[in-house]
Amino acid sequence: MPTADAVKLSEILKGVSRDPFAVLGMHHVTEGTGKAKKKCVAIRAYLPRAEAVTAKDAQTGETFGLSPDQGGEGLFEAVIKDRKEFFRYTLEITFDDGGSFTTADPYCFKPTVSEHDAYLFNEGRLHGLYGTLGAHPTELEGFRGTRFCVWAPNAKRVSVVGDFNGWDGRRHQMRMIGLSGLWEIFVPLVGEGDRYKYEIHSFVDTVYLKSDPVAFQAERPPRTASVVCGLGGYEWGDGDWMERREGQRPHKGPMSIYEVHLGSWARTPEGGYLSYADLASGILRHVLDMGYTHIELMPVCEHPFDGSWGYQVTGFFAATSRYGTPWDFMAFVDGFHRAGIGVILDWVPAHFPKDAAGLARFDGTALYEHHDWRLGEHRQWGTHVFNFGRREVRDFLVSNALFWLEAYHLDGLRVDAVSTMLYLDHQKRPGEWLPNKWGGKENLDAIEFLRELNVAVFGRFKGVIMAAEESTAWGGVTRPTYLGGLGFSFKWNMGWMNDFLKYLALDPIHRKYNHNLVTFSIMYAMDENFILVLSHDEVVHGKRSMLEKVRGDYWQRFATVRAAYAFMFGHPGKKLLFMGNDIGHFIEWNYAESLDWHLLGYEMHGKFAGYMRELLHMYKDSRPMYEMDGSYEGFEWIDCNNADDSVVSFMRMAEDRGDLLVFICNFTPVVHRGYRVGLPRGGRYVEALNSDDARFGGSGVTNGDVWAEGWGIHGRAHSAAIDVPPLGAVILRPA
């Protein structure tokens, strides 16, 4: 190529060029010397394994043969002396294996990333970066193809490779936009369904392949290639739901969440995965029948290892292909919305795995993570920690949260492992962490990221929820950011969960000595907007199922769990139950197997499911059980001091305080006949629910109507004598 710059040409051949467009494609050159010197155009191509290349004017049809460079190596050039202006053209390429095709020249197109977007990205303010980065099928200058963009600021060269170029990194070398670290190229003829990766030549001259961090689709694991996907074309039918959602106040409404792991909710008879469509059909029937208001999906972002349950993500923008396509997942969400059920996604911004194809050391450096392992690794999980202090990384994560809410119409995110983000020393031994600039253990960068995240989400979407899995005493998790809080709408109540499960695991005779485990949570129940959770983490890794956690014989286990759920649904806070908890699953959850749905064929499990159905529907239909979750005006103890009998009684009130419920819970196998309970007013009360009803598998100690007499007790002017069942709960409502 005598007209090309020798140094820049050498960089392309060595695979270290940051701007192959400076050499390849169509360029102005000068021919001749002196007065004979004139401007003309040259077309240059680098096509290893090509034997012949012809350029064809897209308008006139005139052809120009490109001559191979004498040095070989796939270099071709044509100097067109009678043309002074650029023109649109195609390349007709014949390869050494006899194959041929015609395409536009990737190196004749202007940059597909604006300098403004690159600037915003580097500033951490391109919160819709998924519209710029990644692979986007599009049309440029009349040619169909795909524009690619990836962030790799420290790479010497980045190429996009795939089936369309024989996975040859020499073919489609990308250019960097200024000093932004963003590399881009438009590749004609590449479209929906084509597989690709990025070939990265690092600063230490290693060459390796990486999946696209912003790919919308990926191959089915264990394969790791990204797939070109435009996400367009789905016609949503949830307009009414989305409109209603904007006017909702989640804190004032019912929220009973069914937590689901899609890979083990149910499986095919051969043990394979069900499709998104089949899962939607089955889960939706169950959720509507039982009376849940929401489902929460354990992570569906693409992940290679089933045993991570989805928490070791490699494709943050890709719905896992295990169960179908992105459009299948859209239909999944759409179906729930049409039926009036919200969909929440478990989202993982705290860490990512060290898989070679993923984010780890993406461009040969610690790009998404910290270089120092004391900041950049979570050794207990064998993962990297995001560098929340880097603006581009924060932008990546904030954009990812917005993407799921926008592209898939999700109703909220449960943010995983917030505690590990807030504290630099969380689950680390001395010497395994570094203090912040003030010498403290708080992760200042992560705190700012979480605030930025919630401001961005609530600034764009109304009626959604952001729930933090946060297990420490960090203050203000659900306080607004403008008041110094983190800005979440809800926090998982891990303290209540740990105390309550510890209490239930005790022999009933010892519960009176640990009565505080069942009462203490009310002391802080209004400090945050809480969700009471009995999640997947509580029925795995030797922790045993709910039925196995409690003491007693077969009957007593069911009775105890029925009473426990009544107490849980009476306690202030929204509710979350993991799949299987509502049918009395006997064994621990196994991510690789289906739930034991056959248990519903057994009498006690069928009756237990019937009890949970009534409790869930009662919760959804009873304002006192949810309307004042965040205020002590919605809760009053009647008697929290009867440790000897292990009985607690309390009231829940609606916002107008006229609508109320009375809960009496007995956590011993002793029947209390004529147990007197103080009541707020006289008159008739009806037994709204009794966990000991024979139709639920109980012993039948029930009350029917209850009359409040003018006999004061528990500081109240009225009271009633109630038969309190063994290991049971009674819920009364004023007639």
Q: Which residues in the chain land under pLDDT 70?
A: 1, 34, 70-72
The one-letter amino acid code at 143 reads F
**pLDDT value of position 72:** 66
Per the CB < 8 A criterion, the answer to whether 650 and 678 are in contact is no
**pLDDT value of position 6:** 87
Please tell me whether residue 692 adopts helix, strand or coil conformation: coil
Per the CB < 8 A criterion, the answer to whether 250 and 399 are in contact is no
List of residues 6+ apart from 318 with CB closer than 8 A: 215, 216, 217, 218, 226, 301, 302, 326
| Tokens matching residue 47 | 């096509």
**pLDDT value of position 379:** 87
Instruction: Please confirm whether the linkage preceding 508 is cis (ω < 30° from 0).
Output: no
Please tell me whether residue 564 adopts helix, strand or coil conformation: helix
Alpha-carbon span 705 to 551, nearest angstrom: 32
Alpha-carbon span 537 to 541, nearest angstrom: 8
Closest CA to 706 of 693, 721, 689, 717: 721
Please tell me whether residue 599 adopts helix, strand or coil conformation: helix
The one-letter amino acid code at 683 reads G
Maximum pairwise Cα distance, the chain: 118
Alpha-carbon span 558 to 607, nearest angstrom: 10
Please tell me whether residue 607 adopts helix, strand or coil conformation: helix
The owner of tokens 């600021």 is 153
**pLDDT value of position 70:** 67
**DSSP code of 298?**
P
**Left if phi > 0, otherwise alpha if psi is -120 to 50, otherwise beta: which for 197?**
beta
| Residues found in the chain | 735
Residues recognised as catalytic: 416, 469
According to DSSP, the residues that pair with 636 across neighbouring strands are 651
Model confidence over 152-165: pLDDT tens digits? Answer: 999 999 999 999 99
3-state SS, one letter per residue, for 493-511: CHHHHHHHHHHHCCCHHHH
Model confidence over 19-39: pLDDT tens digits? Answer: 999 999 999 998 877 677 888
**Left if phi > 0, otherwise alpha if psi is -120 to 50, otherwise beta: which for 74?**
left
User: Cα–chain-centroid distance for residue 122?
Assistant: 24
Distance between the two ends of the chain, CA-based, in angstroms?
A: 94
**pLDDT value of position 151:** 98
